[in-house]
A and B are shown apart, each in its own frame.
Chain A
Amino acid sequence: MSFFQKTDGSGVLLLAPGDNIAVAACDLPAGTVREIAGQRVVLERAVEVGHKFAIRRIAKGERVIKYGAPIGVATQDIAPGEYVHLHNVTSDYIPTYTFDAGHEFLKEAH
């Protein structure tokens, strides 16, 4: 794995050549247009620094690839420019705990 040395001023980071997501290097507003890996991508919503979005279509069941490594599986089809996070990706190992979603810990506490 090799890490990026510096940003190119585009506000977008493509971390490894085969990745199907890119990362915001700064807060990007909805409608931001970028050409990434030969594809024109339009952000469907605002993306905060460090958060990620699809740069090509990711089918339900396909792995999301960041820095060349799988970071989880798509739970629904994801379009280019779509925000990628808990609502459309899940872990291959242990699900991520959040305050909502009626997690069993909260049920135990009440």
Chain B
Amino acid sequence: MVIDAYLRTDGRKGIRNTVAVCYLVECAHHVSREITYPYREKGAHLIGFPGCFPNAYSHKMLERLCTHPNVGAVLLVSLGCEAFNKGRLLETIRESGRPVKLLVIQETGGTRKSIAEGQAWVAQTIEQLKNTPRAPMPIEELIVGTICGGSDATSGLTANPAMGRAFDFLVERNATCIFEETGELIGMEHWMARRAENPALGEEIVKTVAKAATYYATYGHASIGPGNADGGLTTIEEKSLGAYAKSGQSTIRGIVKPGDVPVAGGLYLLDVVPDGEPRFGFPNISDNAEIAELIACGSHVILFSTGRGSVVGSALAPVIKVCANPATYKRMSEDMDVDAGRILEGRATLDEVGREIYELVLRVAGGEQTKSEALGHQEFILTYKRFEPLGPACFPSAA
């Protein structure tokens, strides 16, 4: 099967053709939202960074997101006096060959004029993007990320291992798959290390999880909340056991950090926990922070498992929601793309649901809307973090 994709001038291929409207400080958020709103069903998506102080991580994140293959054009919205290096971001996007405009509210003359000018540009650019060249995209060029949110004890029994099976099918075809949440892999580090392509990478995996454990311990709270406990998850280790199942059974080829795009197909671990002394608060303040990071690593589409019932989607990349719990599915089926709870009810096997997810990934890559897309979900969040570059043991041994 070959996907009919959007061809970007850098040769990468996207499965959506979005106009990203990107605010560069919270002070430009309202204007950006007003610009986006009338065009949100025509492909305009709102992203941005609220902070006024410069930060290498957030700059890298916005660079990667604004030049993501699912993005066709970008409107940058600046208040004018914030510290974000808008000139550099503008130049990076321009060099990528995408239509881009920088709107500076203080220069344009305030809220009303900026909204009018921004909307005019978005309307005209949406028309222009209809002429984006198309190209066939083989499965091996596809990047798929995975996350779980609103987990309960059924997540690790049905949806997560079924998404793991879908990952296995994708990796067999040399697609790139990324799993993450090292804070929710605590207790699984030695199991994961045994799946590393080489022992040096295995050691890095163990260190990465130890870093996550230190970070969460510092803030006095593991990545497990009261909703998880109500759903039958007792400890972070038990939650991790379920979360780990999302990775499937393939060999782990490397570790990436937010904004690093894997260079070759295979399975990768995304390390989302900052380096150095704990600072800036919890490593991931909510699920969409991790989704944004998976997208910044090049993910075209996100697999999201939920037991309690999350409704989120995302800006820039479609989110496929796989519901683990049969009772939740009955209550919230309008938000769910896959009913993995059938496995518990004896109505399907794990492999059957895994195959269904795999086939849905390909259909969604081919243009089929997910439930969250159809409902207009475009959540996005980006906050402060700090990372050091990857060590050599984190990369795959053969490109």
Contact = CB atoms under 8 A, between A and B. Distances in A.
B232 A97 contact: no
A3 B229 contact: no
Interface in A52-74: 52, 64, 66-67, 69-72
Given A50-B325, A90-B235, A6 B346 contact: yes
A84 to B, nearest CB: 7
A96 B234 contact: yes
Nearest to A71: B238
A69 B187 contact: yes
A102 B235 CA distance: 18
B50 to A, nearest CB: 23
A81 to B, nearest CB: 17
Interface in B152-178: 152-154, 156-157, 161, 164
A75 B187 CA distance: 19
Contacts of B234: 52, 64, 71-72, 84-86, 89, 96
Interface string B212-251: 0100110011101110110111111110010011000000
Interface string B139-157: 0000000000000111011
Contact of B236 (A7, A13, A52, A96): A96
B191 interface: yes
A21 to B, nearest CB: 10
Interface residues of B, number: 45
Contact of A67 (B154, B241, B343, B350): B241
Given A90-B235, A93-B187, A93-B222, A3 B325 contact: no
Contact of A51 (B153, B235, B344): B153
A64 B234 CA distance: 11
Say what secondary structure dominates the interface of chain B: loop
A4 B346 CA distance: 11
Given A48-B232, A71-B187, A94-B213, A66 B238 contact: yes
A50 B217 contact: no
B265 interface: no
Contact of A50 (B225, B231, B346, B351): B231
Nearest to A63: B237
Interface of B: 152-154, 156-157, 161, 164, 186-188, 191, 213, 216-217, 220-222, 224-226, 228-229, 231-238, 241, 244-245, 307, 325-327, 343-346, 348-351
Given A3-B164, A50-B307, A92-B187, 9 more contacts: A1-B245, A3-B245, A4-B350, A7-B346, A23-B153, A49-B154, A49-B326, A69-B191, A93-B222
